[in-house]
Amino acid sequence: MQGFNKYHPPDYDPAKHSSLNAYHGKHALGDRARKLDKGILIVRFELPYNIWCDHCNSHIGQGVRYNAEKSKVGNYYSTPIWNFRCKCHICQHWFEIRTDPANTRYVVHSGARQKHEEWDPAENGGIVLDQKTDTPPDAFHSLEKSVTQKTRALSAAAHLHALEEDRHSHWSDPYSASSLLRHNFRKAKKVRLESEGRAEGVRERYGLGERVGVQDLRTPAREEVREEEDRDNSTITPASPALQALSARLGLASALKADPFLPSRSSPSSSSSSSKAGGSSAERLKKARQLVGLVGAGGGGKRKRE
């Protein structure tokens, strides 16, 4: 870390010497202020543009830096004009560059000449951005333009006023608007949870497992379904034709699983030779087939299973 302590000699008297620089007889800027009695300060100066040296006719590029002698040579109103005296690093010849406050630029005063690199876009086929014409403006065109701008401003102001009134009508009472949003959200959430609950109940009732998703069984709530769900020990009627068909097919499959040797069609001779369990199975099978036939006929012309 750099030390900031300063050495004070034994004969240093603060009352006699204002600072250590005054005690040693040096300036605070050091060697840069060696010509300060002549009004010259040594500064680091960078060329603002390309120049040609008049003595050796060498090219000096923009950005080359020199230890220049800075001095004041005049004023432009209250703005000082500074002169920078530099020595060419090639031929040791001096040249001077001054500030031009009137045109906010630097000018070469002596010892060199500026390399002009102005490019005219009109002569070289470029695009002229600022075209200054000496022809007077068209008064009618200016009037039409001003009238059009006024009309647009009035229409835009009316539109903005309507938007402000609309926003004010919606959000004049933020508490009521927020309460309404929360109420609608809770209502929609309740309906969604009830639908998911009914679908989950159907899936568990028929043992569908994970093969059928809850979103496939979700149905809108109906008043008759709610009344049947409130009843105890009652059979719940499915809410849609698709669920009715599914219930009928599951009942038919259950009957066939209970007695797989049932005849395909019930006949009078089979009732005499069948047992009580067989007769009950045949009756369940017959009812299930009739239900499937009714659902198929009412749900889009499905064929009855024979």
Per-residue pLDDT tens digits for 49-66? 999 999 999 999 999 999
CA atoms within 13 A on the CB side of 242: 6
pLDDT at 45: 95
137 versus 184: which is more confidently predicted? 184
Per-residue pLDDT tens digits for 124-141? 777 776 666 666 667 777
Distance separating alpha carbons of residues 204 and 195, to the nearest angstrom: 14
Q: Which residues contact 117 (CB under 8 A, 6 or more apart)?
A: 49, 50
Query: What does pTM read for this prediction?
Result: 0.39
Same domain, 254 and 207: no
Residue located via tokens 């109906």: 222
Look at 19-28, 108-117, 228-237, 248-257 and tell me which has the smallest mean pLDDT: 228-237
Q: How far is CA 226 from CA 190, 220, 244, in A?
A: 14, 11, 17
Look at 8-17, 53-62, 192-201, 223-232 and tell me which has the smallest mean pLDDT: 223-232
Domain extent for 261: 240-265+275-306
From the CB of residue 239, how many other CB atoms can be counted at a distance below 10 Å?
19
> Residue 168's Cα: distance from chain center in Å?
27
User: Is 259 among the domain residues?
Assistant: yes
Per-residue pLDDT tens digits for 135-183? 666 777 777 778 888 888 888 888 888 888 888 877 788 888 888 889 9
Q: How far is CA 285 from CA 211, 234, 247, in A?
A: 26, 21, 13
User: Is 226 among the domain residues?
Assistant: yes
Among 114, 141, 175, residue at a domain's last position: 114
Among 92, 114, 136, residue at a domain's last position: 114
CA atoms within 13 A on the CB side of 305: 15
